[in-house]
Structure 1
Amino acid sequence: MKSSHHHYAIEDTTRSPQAHWLPHLLNGAYKLPGLEGKKGVLFSNSVLEKYIQEEEKHDNFELTSRINRSIRTLSTGEQKKALLSYLLQQNPDFIVLNNPYETLDKASVSVLKQQLISLSKSMPIVFIFNRQDDLLPVITHIITFEKEELKALVPIEDYIFKRSAFVFDKDIPTAITTYTNIPEVLVELKNVHVNYEDRSILKDINWTIRKKEFWHLIGPNGSGKTTLLSMIYGNNTKAYGQNVYLFGNKKGSGESVWEIKQKIGFISPAMLELFKRSYTVEQMIISGFFDSVGLYQSPSTLQINTAAQWMDVLNLSNQKNTSFLKLSPAIQRLILIARAMIKHPPLLILDEPLINVDDEGTALVSALINKIAKESDTSILFVSHRDEPNIHPDFIYELHPSPNGSIGKQK
């Protein structure tokens, strides 16, 4: 049965921030069939986060009152399911879905997608998207905004999706930082197992990362990707007493966490929270030499020149004095990667670097990652919850959940 409703999609771009038009859209202020004069609800990660905080601060279990559980204890997929169910109980006229699949693994995406297709038969849907592949097959029109003005309403078959054919055509700057005594094997995990209280997270993990290798770590939500990363990069006490070897030394045998971190470049979406002050593009990249948030030391001429070369590679030379916070998510990721790579560390860990990045930005960030893999001696560990067609790793390490903890398989 085909839905009789109009269903809309809005491309999530920095050119027209949601803050301008989203409140008006939810209040039915725009002349759009099925939405005008109606009231909508918003399904998004930020809304979910508000309910989680509300529960923590005020013991208000609105989302999970039916199942008598704290929302924090649910998987990401279950949290989103609880939010959707709660929103639909409000009997809205329509629902706005803001990148609903972000942070979900493939299985959860598939379940949610079917739910939304089913929902589309009974109410109009507005789908805010980063990635064209995420769009529901029921979408009929694309909406574009100019600030808070409704700019265009285009049938989906007539809409031209942006595609980036961008290439970085300058070579990566050479290393000016030297590391001594870096062995061939950078990371080695032998029969690693992790339990938290009565729950098994990882079971018999055997994994070796050597110099100049490009790995993609994948696995569904809750399969232990974050735990595995924290064994390597973080201060996860579960790593002590186990056979975890980093740069030739058994973890916990004398080398400090700081000494380990100096040999690893690291980026994750959570890092963006650190950079709240207005640092320029140049300051951000140079700060990679000092592993600092902001720039408190005077860089050498050589360091300033190297940062200039990186900005040249990224085609950002003319924006060196621009505030990092004013740039799009994709450009921010490029800068964070350059910051992490400026010392040419033996290992670069990229934890979900493409979250909240649109198709055009994904192509851009992926091109830089592939370039680093090709032109440097740095090993790359790329982590994501979805397949990324633009990423070209040498190897894939996949976590498969089991009742006794996730087991790892090399592909």
Structure 2
Amino acid sequence: MVSDYPMVSLEKASLSYKNTPVLKDITFQLKAGKSLAIIGSSGSGKTSLAKLICKEVHPTSGEVENSFRTIFVSQQDHFSEIAGLGSTYYSKRYEFHDYENPMTVPEFLQQLFKRLGREDLTIEDLELLDTFKIRYLLDRNLMQLSNGERKRLQLIGAILEQPELLIMDQPFTGLDVQARAQLAELLEKLTIQGLSFVLICGKSEIPDFVENVLVLKEGQITFQGSPQHIGTQEYSGSIINTEVKVDTLLSRDTEQFETIIKMKHVNVQMKGKPILVDINWEVKQGECWALLGHNGAGKSTLLSMVTADNPQGYTNDLILFDLKRGSGESIWDIKNRIGFLSPELHLYFMRGNGVLSSVPGISSDAKPYSTLSCTDVIISGYRDEIGTASPVTPHQRTIAHSWLELVNLTKLADTLFLNASLGEQRVILLLRALVKAPALLILDEPCQGMDADQIQYFKSLLDHICTSRHITMVYVSHHKNEIPDSVQKVLVLEKGKVIENGSRTDN
């Protein structure tokens, strides 16, 4: 029988960081076997509240009680560090050398079993691999996994720790529609067994079994009750500054090409196994495409061919910006024409211990690896630097600050990137992709971590850029409502093969 006594109790709990209020007078209770969703705009304090609950941080005032075994699953995983590749370059995941032995998925699981003292577990009998439908990953190494595959493996690791309370920060991020439904079903089954959940997610992602929700705004609870009664309280306001003109920021003439991408019978293999099979795809100047497919369908690998991160581009019939791949252009010639954003790229700006909360550095053992400010990160887009930034010119700094002004984030100009909320970090990385007015925008799940206002605004911003400036775009998303209206063509992959190539029909 499930106990009626509170397993978590917060009474007027407040949290400050360097005299800056983060959370104020938070009061609620969570009983055993029950679950709670925490929602709110980016930077509202959701992750900080989760860290209070699991006692990773201590309240500045008030009381926090939690006597149950609690596991916190952060939005960002640590697989790069676990695999011993925390400081490698981004394209490393697409390069494979006989003398290298990166950690495999089975090796990761075996290490996990040993750390947990779970001698009763074997990989062959691990049903969670089938539940999450990732048993096929047993022949992969950690650095070969897609964003969605990493997320599912991360969740398996958390469940194996046998928590009584599982706190999950954006657990549905990076999962396709089917995988999100499967995860919600699994979580519901676990609640029946007595496990409690705290889920940080969007309003539309709250699973049906969750009976209570907290809405946070600027560190305070603005609503507490049933998800059905939230109404429109979650989001308000706009992030656009109408006094800043986008056309001014994109005043540089974009290069003109006839063909941006052309693939003819492209094939990519990984250790002898096909990842992309007979891909034929052509993108003309000014076209906007959605690249769709389930987790593991091959989308990231396809994009790696375009961004020159995958060396197998040289052995295929591939044209980029009117030039056949390998005809004399350098990797940096290609990258200079592309503005790029992806969840995996985000990880490379979170190296070392990184920052996993909306108020990073708040725990005493945090050791940020990077010293880049948000302005530095935006400017790094000019030279496609990842995790570093060369000395900047006054003009570049002015342009970067204008982009921040456009999205009302000038407060972050001199703030460490690691000290921004995860939603704000994703906005900064989008500005990094836009700052050089590229001929091609490649945006892989760009709205992850953004709130509803930010998503709506950036859809409009991208529509304006693509239609008025004739910038070509490839947009990847598992959420059709996040795809901008300017996207009129669709390429759909399934198990590395093209199953749809043509006009968009859902808008």
SS of equivalent residue, structure 2 residue 433:
helix
Q: 1:16 aligns with which of 45, 66, 69?
A: 45
Change (3 A) 1:123 1:96: farther
Task: Report the Cα distance in structure 2 between the residues aligned to 1:280 and 1:46, rounded to whole angstroms.
Answer: 20
Q: Is residue 2:310 matched to residue 1:236? A: yes
Change (3 A) 1:256 1:93: closer
| Shift, 1:200, TM fit | 1.9
Q: 2:180 aligns with which of 104, 109, 122?
A: 109
User: Any conservation in 2 of the 1:330–1:362 contact (CA below 8 Å)?
Assistant: no
Amino acid at match of 1:65: T
Q: Is residue 2:404 matched to residue 1:311? A: yes
SS of equivalent residue, structure 1 residue 274:
coil
State how 1:205-224 maps to structure 2 within 5 Å. 205-224=279-298
2:420 maps to 327
User: Any conservation in 1 of the 2:268–2:275 contact (CA below 8 Å)?
Assistant: yes
2:234 maps to 161
Task: Report the Cα distance in structure 2 between the residues aligned to 1:91 and 1:58, rounded to whole angstroms.
Answer: 15
2:200 maps to 129
Q: Is residue 2:258 matched to residue 1:184? A: yes
Greater Cα offset, 215-224 or 363-372 = 363-372
Greater Cα offset, 232-241 or 143-152 = 143-152
SS of equivalent residue, structure 1 residue 240:
helix
| Shift, 1:252, TM fit | 0.9
1:65 maps to 122
1:269 maps to 343
| Shift, 1:78, TM fit | 7.3
State how 1:239-258 maps to structure 2 within 5 Å. 239-258=313-332
- CA deviation profile, 1:132-184 (whole Å, cap 9, x unmatched): 1111112111246899999985343444322555545342125454566x322
User: Any conservation in 2 of the 1:21–1:149 contact (CA below 8 Å)?
Assistant: no
User: Any conservation in 1 of the 2:249–2:402 contact (CA below 8 Å)?
Assistant: no
Task: Report the Cα distance in structure 2 between the residues aligned to 1:320 and 1:51, rounded to whole angstroms.
Answer: 28
Amino acid at match of 1:201: I
**Identity across aligned pairs (percent)?**
23
Q: CA RMSD in A?
A: 4.0
Task: Report the Cα distance in structure 2 between the residues aligned to 1:88 and 1:81, rounded to whole angstroms.
Answer: 11
TM-score by length of 1: 0.80
Change (3 A) 1:93 1:227: closer
- CA deviation profile, 1:240-281 (whole Å, cap 9, x unmatched): 232210111110111111111111111223334337533444
TM-score by length of 2: 0.66
Q: 1:361 aligns with which of 454, 457, 481?
A: 454
Change (3 A) 1:210 1:9: same
Task: Report the Cα distance in structure 2 between the residues aligned to 1:87 and 1:291, rounded to whole angstroms.
Answer: 35
2:132 maps to none
2:14 maps to none
Q: 2:213 aligns with which of 142, 151, 154?
A: 142
Task: Report the Cα distance in structure 1 between the residues aligned to 2:182 and 2:376, rounded to whole angstroms.
Answer: 44
User: Any conservation in 2 of the 1:218–1:384 contact (CA below 8 Å)?
Assistant: yes
Change (3 A) 1:9 1:216: same
Q: 1:383 aligns with which of 470, 476, 488?
A: 476
| Shift, 1:112, TM fit | 1.7
Change (3 A) 1:42 1:321: closer
Q: Is residue 2:378 matched to residue 1:285? A: yes
Task: Report the Cα distance in structure 2 between the residues aligned to 1:78 and 1:271, rounded to whole angstroms.
Answer: 15
1:260 maps to 334
Change (3 A) 1:93 1:341: closer
Amino acid at match of 1:66: I
Q: 2:169 aligns with which of 86, 93, 98?
A: 98
Amino acid at match of 1:73: R
Task: Report the Cα distance in structure 1 between the residues aligned to 2:202 and 2:399, rounded to whole angstroms.
Answer: 34
User: Any conservation in 1 of the 2:259–2:282 contact (CA below 8 Å)?
Assistant: yes
| Shift, 1:393, TM fit | 3.7
Task: Report the Cα distance in structure 2 between the residues aligned to 1:383 and 1:200, rounded to whole angstroms.
Answer: 21
Amino acid at match of 1:107: Q
Greater Cα offset, 128-137 or 161-170 = 161-170
Task: Report the Cα distance in structure 1 between the residues aligned to 2:383 and 2:152, rounded to whole angstroms.
Answer: 43
Amino acid at match of 1:197: K
Task: Report the Cα distance in structure 2 between the residues aligned to 1:366 and 1:382, rounded to whole angstroms.
Answer: 11
Change (3 A) 1:315 1:358: closer
Change (3 A) 1:81 1:323: closer
Task: Report the Cα distance in structure 2 between the residues aligned to 1:305 and 1:175, rounded to whole angstroms.
Answer: 13
How many residues are paired up? Answer: 401
Greater Cα offset, 383-392 or 62-71 = 62-71
Task: Report the Cα distance in structure 2 between the residues aligned to 1:40 and 1:168, rounded to whole angstroms.
Answer: 42
Task: Report the Cα distance in structure 1 between the residues aligned to 2:329 and 2:75, rounded to whole angstroms.
Answer: 38
Name stretches of at least 5 consecutive residues in structure 2 with no aligned partner: 1-31, 60-64, 84-102, 126-134, 351-368
User: Any conservation in 1 of the 2:285–2:471 contact (CA below 8 Å)?
Assistant: yes
Amino acid at match of 2:262: E
Change (3 A) 1:190 1:90: closer
Task: Report the Cα distance in structure 1 between the residues aligned to 2:322 and 2:269, rounded to whole angstroms.
Answer: 25
Task: Report the Cα distance in structure 1 between the residues aligned to 2:300 and 2:442, rounded to whole angstroms.
Answer: 12
Task: Report the Cα distance in structure 1 between the residues aligned to 2:312 and 2:190, rounded to whole angstroms.
Answer: 44
User: Any conservation in 2 of the 1:10–1:128 contact (CA below 8 Å)?
Assistant: yes
User: Any conservation in 2 of the 1:330–1:364 contact (CA below 8 Å)?
Assistant: no
Amino acid at match of 1:67: E
